[in-house]
Amino acid sequence: MAEIAIVGGGLMGHGIALVLALHGHAVRITDTDAQTRARVPTLMASALATLQEAGAAPEGWDSARLAQAVRVEAELEPAVTGTGLVIEAITENPEAKRGLFAELDRLCTADTILASNTSYLDVFPLIPEARQARALVMHWYTPPYIVDLVDVVPGPGTDPAVVAAMRDLVLGLGQVPIVLKRFVPGYVANRIQSAISAVVYELLDAGIAAPREIDDAIIHGLSLRIPILGHLAKADFTGLDLAQRALANAGHTPQGAPMRSQTLDALCAAGRTGVMAGRGYFDWGGREPEDLFRERDRKLLALKRAMAGIGRMEGT
């Protein structure tokens, strides 16, 4: 695609620029803060070195090539003029973002796509009406050159072709796009993380478990299965009838009140109770449960070995 501009060269902006450059895109980046602009090349070079040490960077890159691929501009106009996509990664402040979108509306051609990296602001009311069809959220995670997930979220007026094009762009970067139906603050991963936070602080403040115990529960129990099964495939293995009973058990839910899920109730009513029934959230392709358990267990053991080899953060 045409050159890509990134506005905001802070924590996120320089990392997104690195990912785009390493995948062959010509990038321009700008920031209102001179010190931040000066830091962009060194931060990218240092992240590139980390990727290279781990064998996770494409061949043939060094800081000189990176400096050619990512042009740092002091002003907004030369940074965005003629670009096909502008990624907004400035401070999470609605008035700053509104002001920037007005400037971009003035400087960019009508076909330029405007993508916001906002974490929790609904930016669509901040974007001029005429730009709505070519505006969307493209939300990355830090550090973007290691964490693959990118949320792609249309606004009320976004052209579906723009959503599809941005999903394809993210796929082409080797990242994992998820396309949501509409904006919700925190998207999926950060909303789940908020739910975890709520329970963690409840347990901590009630003195039920100390930080060490809470993090042991997360590292050795909760998270071990997540990389392979996510949450819903894990529920298929547990059995959805059990998941339904757990939700209905007031003592088991964070709210301390019984919960129901229409989706879960409908699956259980249809006999789709998970791996043992052959189908649940996922269709297990007619495979025997023993076969599925063996695959899961082999993968869990490989992950456990890798985690033991890596170890946890020193001091925790």
Ligand X SMILES: NC(=O)c1ccc[n+]([C@@H]2O[C@H](COP(=O)([O-])OP(=O)(O)OC[C@H]3O[C@@H](n4cnc5c(N)ncnc54)[C@H](O)[C@@H]3O)[C@@H](O)[C@H]2O)c1
Q: CB of 160: closest distance to ligand X in angstroms?
A: 24
Sequence-distant contacts of 73-78: CB under 8 A, at least 24 apart: 73/28, 73/29, 73/30, 74/30, 74/34, 74/37, 75/30, 76/7, 76/30, 76/100, 76/103, 76/104, 76/107, 77/107, 78/28
Q: CB of 228 within 8 A of CB of 300?
A: yes
Q: CB of 309: closest distance to ligand X in angstroms?
A: 27
Cis check: omega of the bond before 41, within 30 degrees of 0: no
Q: CB of 141: closest distance to ligand X in angstroms?
A: 6
Q: CB of 17 within 8 A of CB of 66?
A: no
Q: CB of 39: closest distance to ligand X in angstroms?
A: 9
Report d(CA 218, CA 222) in Å as an integer.
5
Report d(CA 136, CA 291) in Å as an integer.
42
> Which of 31/236 has CB closer to ligand X?
31
Q: CB of 13: closest distance to ligand X in angstroms?
A: 6
> Which of 32/238 has CB closer to ligand X?
32
Q: CB of 87 within 8 A of CB of 15?
A: no
> Which of 126/169 has CB closer to ligand X?
126
> Which of 137/268 has CB closer to ligand X?
137
Q: CB of 1 within 8 A of CB of 85?
A: yes
In the chain the first and final C-alpha atoms are separated, in Å, by 45
> Which of 32/253 has CB closer to ligand X?
32
Q: E-strand spans in 141-259?
A: 149-154, 176-179
Residues of this chain that interact with ligand X (CB under 6 A) are 7-13, 30-33, 36, 89-92, 96, 100, 117-119, 139-142
Q: CB of 106: closest distance to ligand X in angstroms?
A: 13
> Which of 112/118 has CB closer to ligand X?
118
Q: CB of 93: closest distance to ligand X in angstroms?
A: 8
Q: CB of 137: closest distance to ligand X in angstroms?
A: 10
Amino acid at 162: V
Structure token digits, residue 40: 């962009």
Burial 160-169 (b: 16+ CB within 10 A, else e): eebbebbbeb
> Which of 13/280 has CB closer to ligand X?
13
Q: CB of 32: closest distance to ligand X in angstroms?
A: 4
Structure token digits, residue 107: 């400087």
Residue count of the chain: 316
Instruction: Name the residue whose CB lies closest to ligand X.
Output: 10
> Which of 144/278 has CB closer to ligand X?
144
**231 C-beta neighbours (distance < 10 Å), count:** 11
> Which of 14/25 has CB closer to ligand X?
14
